[in-house]
Structure 1
Amino acid sequence: MKVVIAPDSFKESLSAAEVAAALAEGWRLALPDTEVVELPLADGGEGTTQALVSATGGSLEHKEVSGPLGKPVNGFWGRLGGKRAVIECAAASGLDLLSRGERDPWRATTRGTGELILEALDAGMTEIIIGLGGSATNDGGAGMLQALGVRLRDENGDDIAPGAEGLESLASIDLSGLDKRLRGVSFQVACDVDNPLTGEQGASAVFGPQKGADAALVKRMDACLARYGEAITHCIGEKVDTIPGAGAAGGLGAAFLAFLNASLKPGIEIMLDAVDIDSHLEGAALVITGEGRIDSQTERGKTPVGVARRARMHSIPCIAVGGAVPEDPQVLQTLSHQGLKAVFPILPGVTDLDTALANAGLNLRLCGRNLAAFWQLAAIQPAD
């Protein structure tokens, strides 16, 4: 029997490769003769660069760049062969680069992401895949644009401050200094969400709380991004703020759409094609996927649903595991319609977040073992 284990990372705990390895180890405890294929994935967030580099036989390039709060961090980007590159904003502007106490979406900047793009340009890259997930920012990509030569000015003509804070005083956008090499670059943006820039489903309201924003700050940042959206429209003569994905990575999606002629595509689709998942699914009896938190956002194009849809095309049942899973039966039913036949929590009992994160590997192994034992007991057959 063949089982494909294709999870995303469990944020702040384990990489996708570690998740896959733990589940595989647990599965083999109950069914040691199973052919287990470990296929770690990402959907545009952390791990995207490493996964694509591994899939293409490329290489990682490291560069010290500005971190989310301006302090230098060891950023990286990937060469994928020829003039193709991959950059994940999480490598320079990611939430995992900050401790929980440091999270500050009001001041966090995407400048480091722009600096990584400059590195790729210096290396002669002309096709760049961008992963938008896992950001600590809510600046609409303003920092990235400034790194690439764009001037964002206040009413006095001075450059605005970093972060969402600067957008509060934004009066105009000047593209005259934008790096001219960008005209010859195509950007394919791996985007795991379809949120607009502002509003109830916008960047600030949906993702701001995860990045450290309280209700008052969410409202203030949403107003800042609305101001930013108006400035974009005035600058280019087009509205991008309502385009699905414009709100990804704290509005970074809007910057790519407006100024870098980028195309947004579900990150998981880019990944699945890059790792040639269809060939790995041949002959499989079951697919196991998962991520740290499975909820209503999962159906918007994140890894578990992307994997489930591809498995369904091959008539292979797909189940998911998560550190946190939906408590709403309707959400579970919706995920079922997307191809996830069942969703299992990995936690064995009530615990606090720190303990859950620390014990994720053990809990995944236990979950993997129990899934294999249940599969054997129930004699589940592949779906028609």
Structure 2
Amino acid sequence: MQNHERRRNHMKILFAPDSFKGSMSSFHAIELLHIVTQKHFPGCQMVDLPIGDGGEGTVESLIHALGGHYATCKVTGPLGEEVEARYGILNDTTAILEMAQASGLPLLQGRTPDILHASSIGTGQLLRHILMEGYTNIYLLLGGSATNDGGLGAATALGIRFLDAEGKDVSPDGAGLAQVVSIDAAAVLPQLQTARITLMCDVKNPLLGPDGATYVYGKQKGAGPEEQARLEAGMENYIRVVEEACGRQFRDVPGCGAAGGLSVPLLAFAHAEIRSGIETVLSLMEFDKLIEDVDLVVTGEGRLDYQSTKGKVLSGIGLHCARQGVPAVAVVGCMGEGAEQIYDCGIVAAISCMGAATSQEDALARADAMFLNAADRMYRLIKLGMSFPR
């Protein structure tokens, strides 16, 4: 028994949860894990690593892990309003920005979405500002957008002109896609040609078709059947002109359908590549080094289901831990269809906060208490396993 106690008190545990959307940040989840861990393993060493996969909270977690800071820039929001967009500075050459800060659905603040006229121009303005500040290594998080303009608005802000049959500039939004006949990139921002841009994305959707930008994400941005058909036809026209201008094919690139096709002009006219959000985050944080002497990793997210295995935080952490022989467990808000698939991604066990009969309203109201209870159950099972003779 004394050996078991000594082993418990000298444990090193790393906390790496994602945010629990709608209920708690990854930082708050870690605070709660500290409380429960100190109860069960009072002498253990705890390492905090709030994390994200390219979505909400990712910039904050990277700034925390890498010692960066925030800066702001005023840009044009998705429907033409002025917004103050925040971005992160990680070092003298590296900056990170979220598309959602400049062109995101949350910026509509209760206004009716207008996907045909929503523009990614603010994202281009924010990227232009960062490039002109001298940053040459840029991470752009795709997701949460209010737009479906194929990045036409963003590219316009970067100096690329999209012209109609009369040689006039098209509107920099979804409605303008169908009008594009030719492209003039002569006045493109010079810094765009020399910077390296990593597009962080956690989906594999192509640009067009039933699995593409318009038909998968258009509805949540306010597009009805008629608008979807119009946007899809416009996107087909737009990508044809872009591909002819560049002599390369982009429409089937995995992830190109994310964020309303924002990546298209960056892949075409800049040194950009699409990478897995969680893999990029783990690489920047040097996660594999951090877990070299760790006994246990505790991660988590709001909902665990089959999508969690497809480039999300839990699967990324689980696979990295499995490769190094470090056990990883998860505390999750709830478990949905296909949740058991996460065990094929290196997660050893997952504990749900929410029971089957618990309503969502009750879960949100008692989020802290339910999380603490789930973590307590998890540690009791871990201690039981540790008590067995080896």
Residues 55 and 274 of structure 1 are in contact (CA less than 8 Å); yes or no, is this contact kept in structure 2? Answer: no
1:108-137 Cα offsets, whole Å, 9 max, x none, are 322221111121122111221222133232
- Counterpart in 2 of 1:363? 370
- Residue 373 of structure 1 is matched in structure 2 by 380
Instruction: Indicate conservation of the 8 Å contact 1:45/1:90, yes or no.
Output: no
Partner Cα separation in structure 2 for residue 367 and residue 209 of structure 1? 35
Distance 1:30 1:227, change over 3 A: farther
Relative to structure 1, the CA distance from residue 200 to residue 283 in structure 2 (aligned partners, 3 Å threshold; closer, same or farther) is: same
In 1, Cα distance between equivalents of 2:69 and 2:46: 26
The offset of 1:162, in angstroms, is: 4.2
Distance in structure 1 (CA, Å) of the matches to 2:223 and 2:34: 37
Deviates more, 1:306-315 or 1:250-259: 250-259
Match of 2:241 in 1: 231
Residues 1:195 and 2:205 aligned together? yes
Give 1:334's aligned residue: 341
Shift in Å at residue 324 of structure 1? Answer: 4.5
Q: 1:182 to 1:213 in 2, by over 3 A?
A: same
Over the aligned positions, Cα root-mean-square deviation in angstroms equals 2.8
Residues 264, 33 of structure 1: CA spacing in aligned structure 2 closer, same or farther, 3 A cutoff?
A: same
1:114-193 pair list within 5 angstroms: 114-193=124-203
How many Å separate the matches in 1 of 2:331 and 2:100? 23
Query: What is the Cα deviation at residue 60 of structure 1?
Result: 1.2
TM-score (ref. length: structure 1): 0.87
Q: Assess if the C-alpha contact under 8 Å between 1:318 and 1:339 holds in 2.
A: yes
1:19 and 1:206 map into 2 onto residues whose CA distance is: 31
- CA apart distance, 1:148: 0.7
Q: Is the 8 A contact 1:27 1:371 kept in 2?
A: no
Distance in 2 (CA, whole Å) between partners of 1:14 and 1:163 is 34
**Which runs of no fewer than 5 residues in structure 2 stay unpaired?**
1-10
Point out the structure with max Rg over C-alpha: 2
> Which segment drifts farther, 270-279 or 343-352?
343-352
Name the structure 1 match of 2:297. Answer: 287
Q: Does 1:10 align with 2:17?
A: no
One of 246, 259, 278 as aligned partner of 2:256:
246
8 Å CA contact 2:315–2:342 kept in 1: the answer is: yes
Q: Which residue pairs with 1:273 in the alignment?
A: 283
User: Once the two structures are superposed, what CA deviation does each residue of 1:117-166 show, in whole Å capped at 9, x if it has no partner?
Assistant: 12112211122122213323222212211111112233344333343233
Q: Which structure 1 residue ranges, 5 or more long, are not aligned?
A: none
Q: 1:71 to 1:237 in 2, by over 3 A?
A: same
Query: Following the alignment from structure 1 to structure 2, what is the Cα–Cα distance between the partners of residues 297 and 246?
Result: 18
Aligned twin of 2:7? none
The whole-number CA distance in structure 2 between the counterparts of 1:27 and 1:98 is: 40
Is 1:204 the counterpart of 2:211? The answer is no
Q: Is the 8 A contact 2:14 2:49 kept in 1?
A: yes
Aligned to 1:309: 319
Residue 272 of structure 2: which of 250, 262, 281 is its match? Answer: 262
Separation in structure 2 between the aligned mates of residue 346 and residue 209 of structure 1, nearest angstrom: 30
Question: Partners in 2 of 1:42 and 1:123 — Cα distance?
Answer: 26
TM-score, normalization by structure 2: 0.86
Whether contact under 8 Å (2:305, 2:335) holds in the other structure is yes
Q: Measure, in 1, the Cα distance between the counterparts of 2:361 and 2:241.
A: 42
> Closer, same or farther in 2 for the Cα pair 1:373/1:259, shift >3 Å?
same
Question: 1:243 Cα deviation (Å)?
Answer: 0.8
- Contact 2:49/2:65 (8 A) holds in 1: no
Between the two structures, name the one with larger relative contact order (CA 8 Å, sep ≥ 6).
Answer: 1
